[in-house]
Amino acid sequence: MMANKKRTILKLSAAVAGMYLFSFALVPLYDVFCDITGLNGKVAQSSNAESSISVEGREIGLQFISHNNAGMPWTFKPSKEVSKIKTGTLYEATFYAKNTTNKMMTGRAVNSVAPSNAKDYIKKIECFCFAEGIELMPGEEILLPIKMVVDDELPENIKNIVLSYTIFDSKIEHNITMDHDSDHMGS
């Protein structure tokens, strides 16, 4: 009877550990899914964004939203949440990030755009979301840059664009400890 309880507890502990580890694999799997399907409205890096800059442009609303993935203890937020910008004009913004833990951590940002059809008209020159990882020491804080142009060809019915950034812990903790002490298992 006791052997069955131990076996069940070990199986359940392994299942929980497996789910925990799988959560870290979701970011790269999501990237692959988005590449294959073309979904999510991710904005690609543009090397010719300067050529999209024009003298005239119409005013649109631009909103930045930040999210921390579960288990990501950093402070992460846009320096300015809402702006009015002109299409065809270079726009620069920053996000504030601070590692609030007592250990070095590497974060990775993933972005999405709403409405999704606006993604084709956003030309990013520089973005922290292009980096594979943002490494911060304990207590370290940083301003993360974004430089972009919204193309003048943006459809007239799009009056506002929302850029959402989610930050993830990009390192997997390999030292998962499970307590197999029979004193904690009960009888």
Q: Hey, where are the domains in the chain?
A: 1-39, 41-169
> Please, which pLDDT band fits residue 28 given cuts at 50, 70 and 90?
confident
41: left (phi over 0), alpha (psi -120 to 50) or beta: left
pTM value is 0.63
- Looking at CATH, the fold of the domain delimited by 41-169 is given as Ctag/Cox11 (Pfam 04442) (2.60.370)
Instruction: Kindly report, residue by residue over 136-186, the tens digit of the pLDDT.
Output: 999 999 999 999 999 999 999 999 999 999 998 987 432 333 333 333 333
Q: What is the dihedral of CA 101, 144, 44, 81, to 10 degrees?
A: 100
